[in-house]
Amino acid sequence: MGIVHHSRYLPIMEEARVAYLREIGHPYQSVRDEGLDLTVLEVFVQYRLPIRFDELVDVHLSLATIERASFQMAYLLTVDDQVRATGITAHGCITTDGGPTRLPAWLRELRQ
C-alpha cells in the first residue's frame, strides 16, 4: 500500500521521547543510573493522514502534564508541515525493581 503501518508510529514517538531526554541533559541511561525507569502506562494515537514510505517525519513533542509520579507527553507528527498524526503517552515513574516512586526533581521542574 506504500504507507507506514500504524504500529510503527509508536517507535517514532519513542525515538523522539528518548532524543528529548538526551537533549535536555538526561539521557535515558542517566535515568536508569538514578535507579528509575519511566514506564509507558497508556498510549493514544490519532491517525490523520498516512505517512508514506521514505517520507521524512518531523516529531514535535511537549510535556503535557506532570503529576507526582507520572507525566504525559504530547506528539505532533508532520511531513512538510502537514499533520499526519497526533499522540499522547502517559508514563509512570518506577524503581528499577518495579515499585512506583516520585518523578525525579529535574523532571518535575520542567513544568514550573
The pTM of this model reads 0.92
State the pLDDT at residue 53.
94
Q: Structural domains in the chain? A: 6-111 (3.10.129.10)
Residue 65 grid coordinates: 502534564
Per residue in 46-73, pLDDT (tens digit) is 999 999 999 999 999 999 999 999 999 9
State the pLDDT at residue 112.
62
For 84, counting Cβ atoms within 10 Å of its Cβ (0-12 exposed, 13-18 middle, 19+ buried), the class is buried
State the pLDDT at residue 1.
75
Per residue in 78-91, pLDDT (tens digit) is 999 999 999 999 99
C-beta neighbour count of 17 within 10 angstroms: 19
Per residue in 15-52, pLDDT (tens digit) is 999 999 999 999 999 999 999 999 999 999 999 999 99
* Amino acid found at 38: L
State the pLDDT at residue 111.
77
Identify the residue whose cell numbers are 507520572: 70
